[in-house]
Every structure is written in C-alpha cells, then in structure tokens.
Structure 1
C-alpha cells in the first residue's frame, strides 16, 4: 500500500492495482474528481470528505506511481503513460503554457520518451522530477531558483517535460531523486549527493562531504534533506528552525516519510515517531507534558487503539492544512489582546480569475498571486467577554460583525452556545502555536498594544477592524484612482494590495470609513512660522515634528506651546531645543505613537494594507532622524529600539519563509508586496531605507554624552547594542566600518585571478554636519 500527500489532498493505492483512492481539496481538480464536484461559491463543495476511486483511462492499465504537489497531482500507469491534473500556473502540469488547469486526468503527450520507463517520480510545491530507466532525469514546473537545472536565459518555468541540465560530477549515476520547495537533490548508488537550486537553508553547503553508504530512503522536505540508512539511522541537514531535523536520541527506524516541515518514522519496535513542526496537528495529538509544539522526538499514539494492540506498517507526511469548511471558531483563548484575520485560499468558481487578488502592475494578465483581499480585527480576550461572534461572507469577502448578521442566526447561536462550545470550537491550546511566535507576539503587545485601546479605536473605529484596501483620508482619492486605473500612483509609491470584490447588494454610494492615522508630512518638519535657519535646522533634525506629534497626541498637554528662543544664523538643533515640548508633558503622546507604529506594522504584515505600510515607514523615518529629541525624550527611544527588535523577530517568524526570498520578481515568495518591501528590509537584510536610518541613528547616539536622564541613556545604548547583535545575525551591520579597498577573486567564467577594488563616495548619501545640503520649501 502506498500513501502520497499534496498540499491539502491525499492518495492511497497499491502497486499494480487499477484503483487509487483520493480525498481532500479538489478545488482545481487535483483529486481528479471532476464529475462529482460542481463549481460553487460554497468552498465546501470543493472538498472531497470521503475517499473517491480513480481508475486509469486505459481499461488494462494499472497504477504504478502517484506524486502530488501543492495544487496538482501526477499519475504513472503501467502502460507507460503519465497523466496530470489540478492547477499549474507555473508549468506544474507539464501540459504546456496554454494548459494551466486540468480538472480531470490529462495525459502528458510524448512522455516518457520511447524506449524508457519511469523509475521514480517526486513532486513538491511547484515542480516535478522524474528518473527514467536510462538514468536521465526529466522535470517541469517552477525552475527559477535553479531547482530544474540550467535554464535558457530569461526562462523561469518549464512547461513540458524536459531533460534537465544538471552539471553533475564525473561518473555520477543517479539512482535516487528528492525535491524540496526550491531545490532538487540526487544520490548515486554509492551514496554520493548532488544538490541544485536555492541554498537558503544550507542544503548544498551542509551536505555530507563523504558518501553515505548503505542508504535506503532518500527524501526531502521544503527546506531539508533526509537519508534513512539500512541500519535505521536518519541523517538530515538543512532547515531546523522548528525541529525539522531528527533528534539525537531517535531510535532506529524501519521506514521514513517526510512532509513539508515535519517527518514521521516507524521504529524497529513498530512504534510511530514524529518530529518537526506540528502546528496543525501534523505530528499527532500533543499532551502538556510533551509540549505545545513538537520540536523533538515524539511517540505518537493512535486514538481508539489500545497501546500494544497494533503495529504501524505504512506512513506518509504532507503539509499543513488550511482552515476546513466546517471550522466554527476557537475556544479557551488566553486573556490579552489578539489579532484575527481572514482570507479565502482560492476562487472555487473560476481559479483563473484575478478578481480579489493582487494585480501585477507590470503584467496585468499574469495570474500568479494567491494573496486575496483580507480583513481582520483586534480583540481583547477577558472573563468579562464570554464570546465574540463574527461571520465570514464569501460573496463579498467581508467579515461581518454581530450587528450585520441576521438576528435569527445570532439567536440560534446564543441558544446553542454550550453545544457549540463542546463540539464545534477548536481549543486554543491545541493550535500548537510555535514558541517563538507566541513569545514575540506577547513581547510586541505587552509594551504597546496592551495599552493602546484608545489608539486602536481612533485609527480603526469602535470595532477595531480593518481590511486590505482601507486607506487614510488624505490618500483616499489617490488610491481609489490607482485601483480603478491599475496604474502607478503619484510619485514613487506603487498601488499594492488586492482589490475587494464588488458587493452588488450594498449601497455603492456609502462612504467607506477611513483609517485615522496621525498625518505625517515629511515635506514640512518645522513650525508654520519658521523661516530661514530654523527651517534648515528642523529639516535636517526632525525632533520638532516628532515632539509636536507627541504634543498633539497628549490630551493633558492640550494646545500649550513651550517658549523657545528666536532662530539666528548660528542656531542649531540644540539651541532651538527649548522650543520642544517636554517629555514629562507628552508621555501619553509617546505611548500613542509607539502603539500606532505597532498597529501599522501588524496591518502591513497580515493585511497588506498600503496606508499602514506608508505610516509604518513615516513613523520610523521621523523617529530615527530626531537626534536632538534623543536627549530630551530618551525613554521614548528606549522603548522604540526594543519595539524595532520585536518587529524584526516578528517579521521573520510570523510571516515565515515567503517573506525571506531574495528574488525581486518572485510573485509569491514575498509574503506581503510592500513598496520598497518593508518586510524584505526586515527579513532579508537588504541595505535600503531602514538600515540607513538605523546607521544614522547609531551615529547620533554615539555623539551624545549628556542627557537629562543618564540612566535612561545607558538603557538606550544597551538596547541598541542588543539590536545590533540581532541585526548581525541577519547580515546587517549598523556601524560605518566599510571595506574601502581590497582584493577580489574573480569567478572562473570571468577569467579568474585577483584584482584590486576601491569603493569611492561611500559617505556621499550619509553626508552630514552643519553644511550638509538640505532641500526645504520656501
């Protein structure tokens, strides 16, 4: 018996049998159950909840092999025919560029080549590998990271089966293949290993230097490679951030199966073992003694069977499942503030439709993004609030509040609360949120969001909800025009985020509520009555506009203005600092500013909200360029530096590897498509706007000797040093130590050898001082 799993679908079949059984997500026909599924707006219609039989098109054929990717499946029959079905926007089906969806079994023409048969076939998220009887490897699908070998210039996808150009070592004969998310791996009979594609998780540089003799199973997850030897030992390397690599005390195994971020093994003792990321229950039910997240060896019990009454003979591991259609909600939520957001995973009626998805401005016809219109809300869990009722409307892609749900539905829910609680809600403690995510989120909300309820209400309204396309008042007309015309909006800002489907039943003339963020005008950062030197000072040092916002956000301060001296030709930020409001008078405003930064960050990350991304950048820009304010408002900057570190960690852990791509034209690799990619700056270490701001702030901090509160300055410097240490882990260096002259080794394709290189004008963009050029409005 064989079990194979895809993104959210599963097959079971026996070698030589004319029947295979399929279950799971059939939205795109990946289960090849076209006749029993009718496209419907109800997403549950696209789920096969029972096993359905699949037979080869030829009455005399038998199933030989089945492999599954994210939204597609590949079948090999005994009559040497290969079939595909499902969704393949990047060539995953192998049917050519004109066939991106097949809702039933469709034969791949002219494959395999005459005189050859399929020896092994493996599929992963977006590509497939096939080892043929002549030792050659064919593949198709997404190959832009090099996972399908050397491609022609400008080529990203292979739409039909093609022999891969692998540049193998001499005398390397492939006898086993494995496919990761963005890499492919090959092994010879004597255990020599060759890996191609992305090395994001060290699958190439960390591979064994010696041959692995006596290997039995060769497999790969999304970011790691595994080998099971005939002695039962598991050797693995690659990504281990969630315990994906096997523990040191793992018992000898008889069988091994690898999923996206977890693995299963049958021990020689007949017991089932699991390790890796068990966020969605992939590794079995967890007990409190064994921890909330599987990060180690874990013996799995089978519900309903007494211990010792069974022996496990077969296993398969897939990827994490998305929310099921029967999902009703969550119970036992911990006290505190939370954020919940929703989005459909696909369009069950027309998978080729771009409605409610990200629009590619450079190529409007490209339908490759899976990011839909999103809506979410903050809420506080406490004993005084026994329940919160929301309803997702798939037609309008909106999250309905209790006041928008028909009263009869609300009454039915309230009458059956006890039954719903017992039988239909998923326990929060079984969601198995990874420890890092929980820790980072708690740290993020404990310092700002937990004290920001008035700020949440001001920005989002009384229901604390938001959606992808919601914008601020001053950007509304500009963004609406951009959405209508699908063109780049004024200046360098790109329209980003999905379009919301039209609600034909709603009043189109009804004005959508705007986000009430604090307006920050970077083109005027000085007082209205400032002229000459004073303008120049506050254009370079943005302390005035930052503290003025503190004043406006502090109810206690009101409209009082501090007395300041008149500017002269020799005025500096320090001499004019007497005109800044004091820190003690604006503590409420400082807290509101930090809360606003946190809120804009969360809405950027989870909802792809454009206005929040702009606000997020503007707050950091004025805060990290306010050198004089560091002396007078040191406590604010202590909290700001800690918050930036928390957001760095959150961006890496919450958004995950989709935001960690270093490829600019990757439609799906960047989790949230932010102009200048806020998340890319956080996660990938790109030397762009944020790191420049942090370097400038670092210089200002080093130049400060005396402040009103010396203890707070020490805390600030300690906090920034901690931030620097974290930044170095992702390749950021926040000092000004540049290598200006040195020797560089040229690669062989450029002739080899060494040349001397000198970097010039390294400080041009960081020029500072009294006479640094500054453009101000006259």
Structure 2
C-alpha cells in the first residue's frame, strides 16, 4: 500500500516529517509493515491538527499531541506515523476510530470479545464522555459503555460531540448538545458529560455522520434524519432534498456544514453550505468513492484514473489552485495522476479531514 497526503500541515498532521502545507499529493513514509499489506480494514480520521490511521487493526497516529489526543504520552508533537501499542488498550484490538478537534476515541475489542471505548485528549465541553466536569483524560476507559452484550457498529465525532451507533440500532452521544445535535432532550442541557441514549422516535439508522454542530442519520431506504434545532439554519442543512427511494445508496458523509449521498450509479447528491463550492458541481464525473472533509471533497473516477476535488482548498487540500476560477469549482488533481501513476486498474481509497486530503492506493 502507498499513502499520499496533502493540505494543512502546521502540526505535522500529514505524517510527512515536516510542518509545511502541501498542495501536491506527497508519498507518506509509512512504517515498513504497512507498505507490505493490502489493507482489509483501512480507516483515516483527521480532525483538528492530528490524524489517526487504523490499518488491519493496528493503530498509528501523528500530529498535534499536546493533550494526548494521539494516545501517546510525553510527546507534544509527532512528526510521522508511529504505532500505538495494544497495551494502551489493555491488550484489546483497535477496531474503530474517531477524531474530534483535540480529542480522539478508539473502540477496541478485548480478549472476551467485548467492545471497550477509550478516549484521550482534552474536552472542556464533555467531548471525552468520562463524567461530570472531567475535561482531560490520557487514554481513559469510558466505563460501563457500551453495556455488556452490546457492540459498537460505528463511532463518529464532530468538532465537539461524538455519537455511537450500537449493533441494536440505538444511538448514543456526548459532548456539546446545545443545538440539538444530541437530540431534543439534551438541547437545554447544552453539554453532556456521559454517554446518553438519543431518542430517535422510531427512526432506524444504519449510518450516522457528524457535522460541525449537527448530526445526520440515514436508514436502509435512504431516508435522512437531521439532529439540529438551531433557529438559524443558514447553511440549509434542514432543507433535505426530495430523495426518491434509495434502497441501494452507497455512501453517506458529512462536512462541517454540508451533506452528501453517493448512489450506485456513481452520482452524488449534496446539500448545505456552498459558500466555497463544497457541493457537488453539475459537471462532476461519475465516481466510485468519495471523501468529505471539513469544507472540501475528494472523489475517485476509475475510468479516467483521476482523483478530483472541489471546495475550500486554501491549505492545498484541493491540490494546486493555480488557474482555477470560481466559475469552475471542480478542481482536477492532474498532478496527483502524474505523481501517483494511477491506472483504471488501480485500487484507490480517498479520505479527507480538517483541510487534509489522503489517497491510498495498491496496484493490482
């Protein structure tokens, strides 16, 4: 496997061993054991100024670690990806990851097959889920969650809140709740310091996503539910477009202020904030996979062997913006094609974070 990164890098969050922003996809010098693998489970979560990489159940981290958000002690910055030893999780196997602004969460399965949730970092507004007014935690177990007999299907974090989807369809959350992102019952509390079940009123999600200050859910048939009660919906998040039956939708993702659905046909649907061309342009190609960052998008078009991007790319996370005009918001990463030498037979995954972009490839 080869991994390329570009975009915001002031805190080494691109894993490049320097802290200069990049507008050209640049090969990451990964630990040798990763490059030899064809990933069966690859996750990248990059938020704030740090990045977590989970590949084949081994966890790696880089970037800002002043608050321990990379699950490493006594090392305020991590210039390149280093492996987090399983002893950090009491010998459990990391399975799912999420990253917020200055905190992270890892779901690790212990020797008895039980899911355990670990948080690390700083959370002055309940982001760690560790209890009343616990604002800092260095690799702490969230005790009693999930309850015995339940497993975690998904965990996702926004800027300052986290939601967890359990195997039985229950949705739980903690962190900032004042705009209804953790349900109506939690809005008045403003902050939740412990995991609390969210009343979905009969809605049955199969995937959850977190925006900057909202949560969105999608069910098997493509129905979308938004947890957001702000009186000022200036980004139009609540203006869900009419969606015909989407029984076979492929992916559902969120930016800080936009939502995106990928259909099996390769067509994307978007709504929300478009102040920086975050929404899918009318001339976008058919895509095989998408990644939505804070305010930008990466997609992979296999037939042309090209990664495209659009949206806010001030830090280089959309590639070089030379000769790009506002009238044509679609940014073609032609440099990526040349540097990476992609072909229609390449296996490609794309990931996007807070002004960071990632392209993983393994050639067949």
User: Structure 1 length as normaliser, TM-score?
Assistant: 0.38
CA distance in 1, matches of 2:340, 2:187: 59
Match of 1:276 in 2: 311
Matched, 1:29 2:68: yes
Q: Where does 1:2-401 land on structure 2 (aligned, <5 Å)? A: 2-15=43-56, 17=57, 19-35=58-74, 37=75, 46-56=76-86, 57-58=88-89, 60-79=91-110, 80-102=115-137, 104-151=138-185, 154-168=188-202, 172-197=203-228, 198=230, 199-269=233-303, 270-288=305-323, 290-291=324-325, 295-302=329-336, 305=339, 307-308=341-342, 311=346, 313-320=348-355
* Cα distance change of structure 1 residues 137 and 287 upon mapping to structure 2, 3 Å threshold: same
Kindly tell me: are residues 202 and 10 of structure 1, through their superposed partners in 2, closer, same or farther at Cα, counting changes over 3 Å? same
**d(CA) in 2 for partners of 1:114 and 1:293?**
54
Determine the C-alpha separation between the residues in 1 that align with 2:243 and 2:263. 16
Task: Kindly indicate whether the alpha-carbon contact (under 8 Å) linking 1:12 and 1:20 is maintained by their aligned counterparts in 2.
Answer: yes
Looking at structure 2, the residues matched to 230 and 223 of structure 1 have their Cα atoms a distance apart, in angstroms, of 24
Q: Does the 8 Å CA contact 2:126/2:133 hold for their aligned counterparts?
A: no
* Cα distance, 1:95–1:280 mapped onto 2, change above 3 Å: same
Any conservation in 2 of the 1:7–1:320 contact (CA below 8 Å)? Answer: no
User: Partners of 1:312 and 1:175 in 2: how far apart?
Assistant: 26
Q: Does structure 2 retain, via aligned residues, the 8 Å contact 1:272–1:301?
A: no
2-side partners of 1:272 and 1:292: how far apart? 20
More strand per residue = 2
- Cα offsets for 1:518-560 (capped at 9, x unmatched): xxxxxxxxxxxxxxxxxxxxxxxxxxxxxxxxxxxxxxxxxxx
What SS does the corresponding residue of 2:250 show, helix, strand or coil? strand
Q: Is the 8 A contact 1:8 1:320 kept in 2?
A: no
The answer on whether the counterparts of 1:4 and 1:68 sit within 8 Å (CA) in structure 2 is yes
**Structure 2: how far apart are the matches of 1:306 and 1:50?**
20
Q: For each residue in 1:66-106, what CA deviation from the matched residue of structure 2 results, as whole angstroms up to 9, or x when unmatched?
A: 0111111110012200101111111111111232112x321
Name structure 1 gaps, 5 residues minimum.
Answer: 38-45, 322-778
Q: Judge conservation of contact 2:124–2:133 (CA < 8 Å) in 1.
A: no
What's the secondary structure of 1:302's corresponding residue?
helix
Given that 2:299 and 2:309 are in contact with CA atoms closer than 8 Å, whether structure 1 keeps it comes out as yes
Shift of 1:153: 7.3
Change (3 A) 1:86 1:291: same
- Offset of residue 250 of structure 1: 1.2
**Cα distance in 2 for residues equivalent to 1:311 and 1:293:** 31
> Any idea what SS the aligned residue of 1:34 has?
coil
Q: Give 3-state SS (helix, strand or coil) of 1:316's partner.
A: strand
CA-based RMSD of the aligned residues comes to 2.2
For residues 285-323 of structure 1, give each alpha carbon's deviation from its aligned partner in whole angstroms, at most 9, with x where no partner exists. Answer: 2332x34898324235338726446946122111137xx
> Quick one: distance in 2 between partners of 1:190 and 1:214?
8
CA positional deviation for 1:210: 3.8
Whole-Å separation in 2 of the counterparts to 1:190 and 1:306? 37
Structure 1 pair 153/53, CA: closer, same or farther in 2 (3 Å)?
closer
Shift of 1:249: 1.5
Pick closer, same or farther for the CA change 1:211–1:303 going to 2, 3 Å: closer
Higher relative contact order (CA 8 A, sep 6+): 2
1:174 Cα deviation after fit: 1.1
Q: Deviations over 1:646-683 (max 9, x none)?
A: xxxxxxxxxxxxxxxxxxxxxxxxxxxxxxxxxxxxxx
Cα deviation for residue 55 of structure 1 reads 2.7
In the alignment, what sits opposite 1:649?
A: none
Compute the TM-score of the two structures, normalised by the length of structure 2.
Answer: 0.78
Separation in 2, partners of 1:55, 1:24:
17
**Structure 1 pair 95/59, CA: closer, same or farther in 2 (3 Å)?**
closer
SS at match of 1:264: strand
Contact 1:285 1:300 in 2 (8 A): no
Number of paired residues?
A: 305
Secondary structure at 2:51 match in 1:
strand
User: How many angstroms does 1:225 deviate by?
Assistant: 0.6
